[in-house]
Structure 1
Amino acid sequence: MSKLIELLQHFGLSANAAKAYVALLKYNPSTGYEISSQSGIPRSAIYSILNRLETIGIVNSVGESPKKFIPLAPSSLLEHFDHSHKDRLDDLKESIGKIDIDDDAFDFWHLHGYRNLILKMRENINNAKDKIFMSGWPREIKAIQKDLIAAKERGLDITLFSFCSLDKQIGKTISYELDEEKLRKIWTPKVILVVDHSSTIMGSARETDESRSIYTKNEAIIEIAANHIILDITLAGQRLGFDPNPIVKRIMKRPDLDLDRLIKS
């Protein structure tokens, strides 16, 4: 239940409000006294919490002496959050749109912590229109696996590179098949994600709050990130004995360029 309480807090409920709702799911209808006993919330605080939940439509009260409370059904709660957050996002988008903002001032966005790294990668993948290419470790690729599969099903071109063995092949996958645990003893995990040649995320993939990475739409940094992945794939082709050119062409911004001809000329 602690995970459910934590998730409810992400949707704007306080810790005690989340505990009260979860207690009501298990025991309803219940009086304030009963909810206090089941949830561990002090009796002095329980009624203000229940009144707040009733005001925002997450619980309902029946009767008077004593008043009892029933929770919004889980399926209805999901719809409630979906509609309320969509309305807020629409209002926020409209209000922000009225401000004269120079987008160049936000060229770099620093991502603090592992969770924010994963969330930003998922956001970028879900907004992708054409192609995604990435260099990463199995843990990070697994964390965004569902989003990558959904992108593949939308018809996007996906290329993944990893030094480690990957459980699932999504799009074109290149790997040295090294043991992840052994490699972590030598290297610190990092990630590079390029989406549509219009944005990139790169940096540390340590699973801590101190992990640091960046998100940017700066063309020079995007080109550096793309070239880094191209170089990794090219070297892998030489060492593993496959032709990297067809894969590299998938990644290049100008796939019509003939690399072999450029090298020989």
Structure 2
Amino acid sequence: MKKITFSLDKSFSKLYSSYRKELLKEGVILEKALTALEKIGLSPNEARVFLTIYKEDGKTGYKISKDSGIARSKIYPLLSSLVEKGLIFQSKEEPIVYRSLTLKELVAKLDLDRQKHIQDVRENLTQLDTKVDKAPVWQLASYEQAMERALYEIQTAQKSLYVQIYTEDLTPPLIKALERAESRLHDFVVILFSQHHRYSLPFRRYYKHYFEAAKKADYHGRWLSVVADSQAVVSGRISEEAGSDLLWTQNSSMVFMAQEYVLHDAYNLRTLNKLDKEAREVFGADLADVRNIYFD
């Protein structure tokens, strides 16, 4: 009898543990969904009501109030607001029930709204005069901001593009932008670093650096440089340990130096590639002696 009791207790414990994990997982998913909805402009309560309807259409206001945990005195103004915003529908006949947009419908609406907002900004801001001071150097507040700025410079370059970047920092949008830039630009150079020696890219014009370990030791992190049209540069160090130090500027001297740095990397790597056998005989199989520049 003891064995049976123990077995039942153990089975119940496993079942409860599994159930608890599922509840926790669902809770995390719901919190992320609420946060995402708040980012598109919904209040916390609006987001909660929308998700309650999204999970099951055809609920009355009373049922939505009960399932969302929001008082009935507050639920109807929230429902009216969501109807007005075009995020839910209400039935014409009594009793009134509600339906939310599907995921596909919601994404389509957000995309349409975004395009309208962009058009409004374009139409209104183009009427304002702006003065641009190209001398300052601007600190980029975060890694994400630096990557967004790098993507912008790559996408908008019309004459030339010179890039030094690690594969670890290449997102799909950056890769696609570089692929398109290569097809439209003659003056296009990418110096590709990789901590894990993964050098594959869906375009042809790039140089594999090979000296990542030494470079990382020199700079205490990864290196990024994006020079667009000889007019602007995103540049700096990316380090998990010391923190990233990245900047953007149109300062002509800094742009010139960053572009020359990429070009000289390309000259050296092109030479080593063309003279690979001879270079390895002179500098060693791993070309390590290339960096021995101090005559000692």
TM-score normalised by length of structure 2: 0.65
Residue of structure 2 equivalent to 1:198: 231
Residue of structure 1 equivalent to 2:157: 128
Count residues with an aligned counterpart.
Answer: 238
Residue of structure 1 equivalent to 2:58: 29
CA distance in 2, matches of 1:186, 1:46: 56
Counterparts in 2 of 1:81 and 1:219: CA distance versus 1, 3 Å? same
Residue of structure 2 equivalent to 1:168: 200
Q: How much has 1:54 moved relative to structure 2? A: 1.6
- Return 5+ residue gaps in structure 2 as ranges: 1-28, 276-296
Q: Give deviations 1:160-214, integer Å, cap 9, x for gaps.
A: 213323342234121234677x958973123111122222111233469x64422
* Structure number with higher helix proportion: 2
Counterparts in 2 of 1:163 and 1:23: CA distance versus 1, 3 Å? same
Question: Match for 2:181: what amino acid?
Answer: A
Match 1:42 to one of 44, 48, 70:
70
Does the 8 Å contact 1:114/1:206 carry over to 2? no
Q: Give deviations 1:27-52, integer Å, cap 9, x for gaps.
A: 213334544565x5634654444332
Identity fraction in percent: 21
TM-score normalised by length of structure 1: 0.71
Does the 8 Å contact 2:167/2:193 carry over to 1? no
Residue of structure 2 equivalent to 1:251: none
Does the 8 Å contact 1:163/1:176 carry over to 2? yes
Match 2:121 to one of 92, 114, 124:
92
- Return 5+ residue gaps in structure 1 as ranges: 244-265
Residue of structure 2 equivalent to 1:75: 104
Match 1:188 to one of 221, 228, 251:
221
Match 2:131 to one of 85, 102, 109:
102
CA distance in 2, matches of 1:41, 1:204: 48
Q: Give deviations 1:6-35, integer Å, cap 9, x for gaps.
A: 444443334554454344333213334544
Report which of the two structures shows the higher radius of gyration computed on alpha carbons: 2
Counterparts in 2 of 1:24 and 1:136: CA distance versus 1, 3 Å? same
Question: Match for 1:97: what amino acid?
Answer: T
Residue of structure 2 equivalent to 1:248: none
CA distance in 2, matches of 1:23, 1:130: 52
Match 1:60 to one of 70, 82, 89:
89
Does the 8 Å contact 1:202/1:215 carry over to 2? yes
| 1:140 correspondence with 2:169 | yes
| 1:119 correspondence with 2:148 | yes
Q: Give deviations 1:49-81, integer Å, cap 9, x for gaps.
A: 433222121211125654322122333323322
Q: Give deviations 1:219-243, integer Å, cap 9, x for gaps.
A: 22211111121222334345x4437
Counterparts in 2 of 1:175 and 1:203: CA distance versus 1, 3 Å? same
Residue of structure 2 equivalent to 1:233: 266
Counterparts in 2 of 1:64 and 1:115: CA distance versus 1, 3 Å? farther
Match 1:242 to one of 274, 285, 295:
274
CA distance in 2, matches of 1:34, 1:178: 64
CA distance in 2, matches of 1:56, 1:79: 14
Q: How much has 1:135 moved relative to structure 2? A: 0.6
Counterparts in 2 of 1:23 and 1:222: CA distance versus 1, 3 Å? farther
Does the 8 Å contact 2:38/2:47 carry over to 1? yes
Q: How much has 1:87 moved relative to structure 2? A: 2.2
CA distance in 1, matches of 2:151, 2:36: 18
SS at match of 1:112: coil
Residue of structure 2 equivalent to 1:256: none
Residue of structure 2 equivalent to 1:250: none
Counterparts in 2 of 1:200 and 1:186: CA distance versus 1, 3 Å? closer
Counterparts in 2 of 1:112 and 1:34: CA distance versus 1, 3 Å? farther
Question: What root-mean-square deviation, in Å, do the aligned CA atoms of Structure 1 and Structure 2 show?
Answer: 3.5
